[in-house]
C-alpha cells in the first residue's frame, strides 16, 4: 500500500451556465503571452459538439491515453522504441489548424485609413504571422450549438444513438445541449507523463498536480498527443509544452485556482483524495465497463486509521489527511457516487469528476401537453419523467462519463431525481411522502443523504466548496530561500522570461 | 602556416568552444535546450523533410564515426570489392535522400509564413552550413570515388592525430580543396553546435527506453539535502542565511 494525496475536483454540470468566466480568468493570468495565444487551459464546450481542439475525443486520430496490449498497460501513442523513432515527426500531433489560428484586429486601420466614401474596417490579422486571415475556427466555434449540423454531428459520443434520438436532439427550437467545462484532469495515471521521452512531465508527490518542467522539455511534443483530453499545449514560440498548473502558486497561499474562484455558477469543488498508488496500473487495466468502479476502489477512506497511518508513512502531511476527511470531492465521488470521470475509457484515472446534468428531462412532447410514456410517473409532473425518455439520452451520457456503462449513469440519475423529489416533498409539499420514500429507495439512498447532497449542491459556502490546506511551500522553503523574495515569484522556481534567445 | 591554423588550431578551437559553450549554456540557460520543433505549425512538409533528413544524416554520420573508431574493422569491411561497391552506392543514395530532405526543409521555411516567424538568423546560418556540407559530401563521394577507402588513410589518421594531441597535417594538406572544405566545415558545424538549436543533438531521450511510465517528484524530498546542508551551515558560528 502506497497512499498518496491528490488535489481533486468536481464540476457539477447542472449548475454550469456556460458563461466562460473561468476561461477568461485563466487566460488573463496564464496564457496571454506570445506562443500561448491559442491555448485555453480552461475551456467550456457545448455538448453535443466536437470541442477544442476539434474532435479531441477521437483517439483513433490522436492516439491519446492508454491501452491494454498483451495484458500490459501501455500508452496508445507508441512503444518505447517507437517513441524514439517518431521524434522527428509525431504522426498523431494535432496542428494549429486543429485548434484555431489566433487573431486580433487591425484596429489602427480605423484611425489611419485615408478619408473616403466607405467606413474603414478593422481586418482580422493572425497573431502568429501578423498577416490578414480569414477566420475559420475559434476556441469555441460551435458554442450553444452554432453550426450544429456541420460540427456537432461529428461528436464521437453520438455513437450508438438511434436515428430517432438524433432527430430529437436537433428538433428545431427544442434543441438540447449542456456545457462541459474542461481543465487538465491531473490524472492519477497521466498519459502525458507516460509518453514524454525526456521525462519532463511529472506529477508532484505532495498534491498530485501534473506539471511540465520547462527546463527539461525538449519539444518532442509527444505529451500533446499522449494526453487524451488535449490539455497539454505546445508553445510554438518557446518550443516548450505548457499546461494547466492548477494555479499552484494560488494553492500554495491557500486560494483556490482562478477558474474555481471566479466560477459564477459555483459549480466547482476542490478537495483532497487519498488513493493507493500501488494499484494505479491494476485500476487502469480494468475491463472497460468496470473502469469507473475500479477507480473508486483505489480511492481510500480517510477516516480509516490504517489508511491515515499509511498516508503519513508515505509522506502525506497531517493537514492534507485532515482535509481529505472534509473533502467535498470524496463525498461526491466515493460516498454518494454522483460524480464520474470524463471518458474513463482513456484509462488515465482523471482526478476531475463531473456530476452529469439532468437537463430538460422530457425527450418528446405531443402537442402542448407533456405526455409521458410511463403512466406511473405522470403524477410527478412534467419536471420529472422517466429516465428512458430523457431529453439527453442516457447512452450519450454513458459514452461521456461511464465508458459506455449505462448502469452507472442511471444510478447517478436515480439519486439526483430522488434528491429533487425528496426536497420537493419537504419544501413544496406537493408530493406524497410515499413517493419520495420510494424514489429514495429506488436510488439506494436515505433522507439524510439526500439532505446532505442538497446542501452541498445548492447552498455550500466558499469553505465547503474549496477544502485544500495552503500547500505552504513557503514554510517548506524557508531554510533555503527568503520567503519574502520567494512570495512575489510564487513558486515558479523558474524566473526568466519564457522567450527563445538562441 | 595557414595550414596549421586551418587543420590544427581551428579544429581544436571549435571542439573546445563547443564543449565549453555547450556546458555553459546548459548550466546558465537550460530552458533554451530545445529542438524548437515547428511541426505544430506545419505538418505535411515537415514529414517529407525532417524524416529523410534525420535518418539520412544519422546513418551517414554513423558511417563516418565507425570508420574513425574502428579503422581496422572498417578496412576489412571494404576489403572485398563487392562490399565496397555496396557501401559506396548506399552512401551516395543516403546523401541524395538527406540532401532532398534538407532542401524540403529549407523550402518549407521560405514558403510557409508561420514557420518563417519562428526562424531566427542563426537557424538560417545553420541550415546554410548543413546544406553546403551535405552537398560537398555528395560532391566528394561522387567525383573522388572510393572515399570509403581513402578516408581511412587521410582523414582518419589526421583526426586520430588530433585526438591524441600529436597533430599531423601531412595526411590532409595535399587533398583537393573540396575535400578539405568538407573537413573544415565539419568542424565549423561543431563550432555552431552550442550557439544554435543543434544542441538538441545531446538531448536524445534514450532513458525513455527503461524509465518507469510515471514520474513523481516530491518537492520536500528534492530539497531535503539542500535543507540539511543549509541548516548545518546556519549552525556554524558567524554564518548568515542567504538566498540561493
Residue B77 in this model has a pLDDT that exceeds 80: yes
Q: Which residue has the higher pLDDT, A495 or A376?
A: A495
Of B117, B211, B218, the CB nearest to A315: B218
Determine, for residues B55 and A221 on separate chains, whether the beta-carbon distance falls below 8 Å: no
Q: Which residue of A has its CA nearest to B126?
A: A502
Of A131, A218, A315, the CB nearest to B35: A218
Chain B nearest CA to A5, separation (Å): 12
Give a yes or no: residue B222 inside a domain. no
- pLDDT tens for A86-131 read 999 999 999 999 999 999 999 999 999 999 999 999 999 999 999 9
* Chain B residues 132-171 with CB within 8 Å of chain A: none
* Chain B residues 96-125 with CB within 8 Å of chain A: 113-114, 116-118, 120, 122
How many structural domains is chain B composed of?
A: 1
Chain B nearest CA to A188, separation (Å): 9
Collect all residues of chain B within an 8 Å Cβ-Cβ radius of residue A87.
Answer: 35, 54, 204-205
Q: Which residue of B has its CA nearest to A238?
A: B36
Q: What mean pLDDT is predicted for residues A192-209?
A: 95
How are beta strands A3-12 and A352-355 bridged, if at all? parallel
pLDDT value for B243: 37
Domain of B74: which CATH number?
1.20.950.20
The confidence band for B148, taking pLDDT boundaries of 50, 70 and 90, is: confident
Of A131, A199, A476, the CB nearest to B215: A199
Of B51, B211, B226, the CB nearest to A480: B226
Collect all residues of chain B within an 8 Å Cβ-Cβ radius of residue A501.
Answer: 29, 32
Is the separation of the CB atoms in A416 and A358 below 8 Å? Answer: yes
Q: Would you state the cell numbers that stand for residue A113, as one nine-digit string?
A: 485609413
pLDDT value for B52: 98
Q: Where are the domains of chain A?
A: 7-103+127-259
Of A89, A220, A481, the CB nearest to B244: A481
CA B233 to the chain's CA centroid: 43
Q: Is A48 strand, coil or helix?
A: coil
- pLDDT tens for A303-312 read 999 999 999 9
Is the separation of the CB atoms in A314 and B216 below 8 Å? Answer: no
pLDDT value for B232: 56
Collect all residues of chain B within an 8 Å Cβ-Cβ radius of residue A481.
Answer: 243-244
Domain of residue B157 covers 2-216
HSE-up of residue A379 (Cα within 13 Å, Cβ side): 7
Is the separation of the CB atoms in B106 and B53 below 8 Å? Answer: no
Give a yes or no: residue B231 inside a domain. no
Chain B nearest CA to A293, separation (Å): 22
Class of domain A7-103+127-259: alpha beta
pLDDT value for A178: 92
Number of A–B residue contacts, CB under 8 Å: 169
Interface test with B, best of A218, A298, A471 (most B CBs within 10 A): A218
pLDDT value for A366: 53
pLDDT value for B233: 53
Q: Which long-range contacts (CB under 8 A, 24 or more apart) does A157-162 make?
A: A157/A47, A157/A48, A157/A57, A157/A396, A157/A399, A157/A400, A158/A48, A158/A396, A158/A399, A159/A399, A160/A395, A160/A399, A160/A404, A161/A393, A161/A395, A161/A396
Interface test with A, best of B208, B211, B217, B235 (most A CBs within 10 A): B208
- pLDDT tens for A280-292 read 999 999 999 999 9
- Hey, is the C-beta of B219 within 8 angstroms of any chain A C-beta? yes
Collect all residues of chain A within an 8 Å Cβ-Cβ radius of residue B21.
Answer: none
Of B34, B40, B122, the CB nearest to A217: B34
Chain A nearest CA to B3, separation (Å): 32
Cα A125 to Cα A118, A129, A133, A134, A135: the distances in Å are 20, 8, 5, 8, 9
* Range from A378-392, A452-466, A467-481 that averages highest in pLDDT: A452-466
Is the separation of the CB atoms in A359 and A416 below 8 Å? Answer: no
Collect all residues of chain A within an 8 Å Cβ-Cβ radius of residue B98.
Answer: none
Q: Which residue of B has its CA nearest to A98?
A: B40
Give a yes or no: residue B244 inside a domain. no
Give a yes or no: residue B241 inside a domain. no
Closest CA to A87 of B223, B240, B206, B44: B206
In angstroms and rounded to an integer, the radius of gyration of the C-alpha atoms of chain A is: 24
- pLDDT tens for A123-173 read 999 999 999 999 989 999 888 877 767 778 888 888 888 888 887 777 766
Q: Which residue has the higher pLDDT, B116 or A388?
A: B116
Collect all residues of chain A within an 8 Å Cβ-Cβ radius of residue B209.
Answer: 80-81, 84
Of B40, B54, B120, the CB nearest to A96: B40
pLDDT value for B229: 62
The confidence band for A361, taking pLDDT boundaries of 50, 70 and 90, is: low
pLDDT value for B242: 39
Q: Which residue has the higher pLDDT, A482 or A209?
A: A209
Is the separation of the CB atoms in A275 and A299 below 8 Å? Answer: yes
pLDDT value for A380: 47
- pLDDT tens for A237-266 read 999 999 999 999 889 878 999 999 999 999
Residues in chain A: 502
pLDDT value for A483: 67
Amino acid at each position: 500500500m502506497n497512499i498518496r494525496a491528490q488535489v481533486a475536483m468536481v464540476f457539477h454540470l447542472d449548475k454550469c451556465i456556460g458563461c466562460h468566466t473561468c476561461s477568461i480568468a485563466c487566460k488573463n493570468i496564464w496564457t496571454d503571452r506570445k506562443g500561448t495565444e491559442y491555448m485555453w487551459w480552461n475551456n467550456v464546450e457545448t455538448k453535443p459538439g466536437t470541442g477544442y481542439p476539434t474532435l479531441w475525443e477521437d483517439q483513433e486520430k490522436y492516439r491519446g491515453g492508454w491501452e491494454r496490449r498483451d495484458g500490459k498497460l501501455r500508452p496508445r501513442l507508441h512503444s518505447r522504441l517507437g517513441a524514439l523513432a517518431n521524434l522527428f515527426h509525431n504522426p498523431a500531433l494535432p496542428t494549429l489548424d486543429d485548434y484555431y489560428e489566433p487573431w486580433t484586429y487591425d484596429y489602427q486601420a480605423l484611425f489611419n485609413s485615408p478619408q473616403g466614401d466607405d467606413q474603414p474596417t478593422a481586418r482580422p490579422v493572425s497573431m502568429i504571422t501578423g498577416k490578414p486571415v480569414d477566420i475559420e475556427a475559434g476556441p469555441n466555434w460551435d458554442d450553444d450549438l452554432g453550426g450544429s449540423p456541420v460540427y456537432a454531428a461529428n461528436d464521437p459520443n453520438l455513437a450508438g444513438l438511434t436515428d430517432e434520438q438524433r432527430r430529437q436532439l436537433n428538433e428545431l427550437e427544442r434543441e438540447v445541449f449542456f456545457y462541459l467545462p474542461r481543465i487538465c484532469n491531473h490524472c492519477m495515471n497521466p498519459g502525458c507523463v507516460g509518453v514524454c521521452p525526456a521525462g519532463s512531465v511529472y506529477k508532484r508527490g505532495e498534491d498530485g498536480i501534473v506539471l511540465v518542467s520547462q527546463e527539461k522539455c525538449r519539444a518532442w511534443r509527444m505529451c500533446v498527443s499522449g494526453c487524451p483530453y488535449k490539455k497539454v499545449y505546445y508553445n510554438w514560440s518557446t518550443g516548450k509544452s505548457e499546461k494547466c498548473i492548477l494555479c499552484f502558486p494560488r494553492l500554495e497561499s491557500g486560494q483556490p485556482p482562478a477558474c474555481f474562484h471566479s466560477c459564477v455558477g459555483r459549480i466547482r469543488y476542490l478537495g483532497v483524495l487519498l488513493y493507493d498508488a500501488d494499484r494505479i496500473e491494476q485500476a487502469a487495466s480494468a475491463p472497460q465497463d468496470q473502469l469507473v468502479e475500479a477507480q473508486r476502489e483505489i480511492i481510500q477512506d480517510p477516516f480509516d486509521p490504517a489508511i491515515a497511518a499509511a498516508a503519513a508513512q508515505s509522506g502525506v502531511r497531517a493537514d492534507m489527511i485532515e482535509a481529505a476527511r472534509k473533502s467535498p470531492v470524496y463525498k461526491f465521488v466515493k460516498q454518494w457516487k454522483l460524480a464520474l470521470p470524463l471518458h474513463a475509457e482513456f484509462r488515465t484515472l482523471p482526478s476531475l469528476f463531473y456530476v452529469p446534468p439532468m437537463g430538460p428531462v422530457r425527450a418528446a412532447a405531443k402537442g402542448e401537453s407533456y405526455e409521458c410514456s410511463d403512466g406511473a410517473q405522470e403524477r410527478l409532473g412534467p419536471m420529472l419523467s422517466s429516465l428512458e425518455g430523457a431529453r439527453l439520452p442516457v447512452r450519450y451520457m454513458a459514452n461521456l462519463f461511464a465508458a459506455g456503462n449505462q448502469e452507472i449513469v442511471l444510478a447517478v440519475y436515480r439519486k439526483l431525481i430522488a434528491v429533487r423529489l425528496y426536497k420537493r416533498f419537504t419544501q413544496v409539499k406537493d408530493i406524497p411522502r410515499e413517493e419520495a420514500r420510494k424514489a429514495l429507495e429506488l436510488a439506494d439512498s436515505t433522507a439524510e443523504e439526500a439532505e446532505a447532497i442538497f446542501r452541498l449542491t445548492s447552498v455550500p459556502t466558499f469553505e465547503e466548496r474549496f477544502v485544500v490546506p495552503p500547500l505552504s511551500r513557503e514554510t517548506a522553503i524557508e531554510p533555503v530561500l527568503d520567503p519574502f523574495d520567494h512570495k512575489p515569484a510564487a513558486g515558479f522556481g523558474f524566473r526568466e522570461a519564457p522567450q527563445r534567445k538562441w | 602556416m595557414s595550414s596549421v591554423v586551418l587543420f590544427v588550431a581551428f579544429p581544436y578551437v571549435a571542439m573546445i568552444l563547443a564543449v565549453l559553450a555547450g556546458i555553459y549554456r546548459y548550466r546558465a540557460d537550460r530552458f533554451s535546450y530545445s529542438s524548437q520543433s515547428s511541426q505544430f505549425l506545419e505538418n505535411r512538409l515537415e514529414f517529407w523533410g525532417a524524416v529523410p533528413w534525420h535518418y539520412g544524416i544519422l546513418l551517414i554520420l554513423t558511417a563516418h564515426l565507425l570508420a574513425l573508431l574502428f579503422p581496422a574493422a572498417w578496412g576489412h569491411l571494404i576489403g572485398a570489392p563487392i562490399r565496397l561497391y555496396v557501401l559506396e552506392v548506399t552512401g551516395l543514395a543516403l546523401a541524395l535522400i538527406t540532401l532532398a530532405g534538407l532542401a524540403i526543409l529549407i523550402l518549407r521555411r521560405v514558403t510557409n509564413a508561420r514557420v518563417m516567424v519562428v526562424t531566427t538568423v542563426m537557424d538560417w546560418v545553420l541550415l546554410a552550413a548543413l546544406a553546403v556540407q551535405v552537398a560537398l559530401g555528395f560532391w566528394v563521394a561522387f567525383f573522388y570515388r572510393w572515399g570509403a577507402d581513402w578516408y581511412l588513410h587521410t582523414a582518419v589518421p589526421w583526426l586520430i592525430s588530433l585526438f591524441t594531441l600529436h597533430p599531423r597535417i601531412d595526411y590532409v594538406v595535399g587533398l583537393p580543396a573540396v575535400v578539405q572544405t568538407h573537413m573544415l566545415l565539419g568542424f565549423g558545424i561543431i563550432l555552431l553546435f552550442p550557439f544554435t538549436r543543434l544542441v538538441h543533438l545531446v538531448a536524445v531521450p534514450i532513458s525513455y527506453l527503461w524509465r518507469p511510465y510515471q514520474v513523481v517528484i516530491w518537492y520536500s524530498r528534492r530539497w531535503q539535502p539542500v535543507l540539511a546542508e543549509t541548516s548545518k551551515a546556519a549552525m556554524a558560528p558567524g554564518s548568515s542565511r542567504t538566498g540561493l
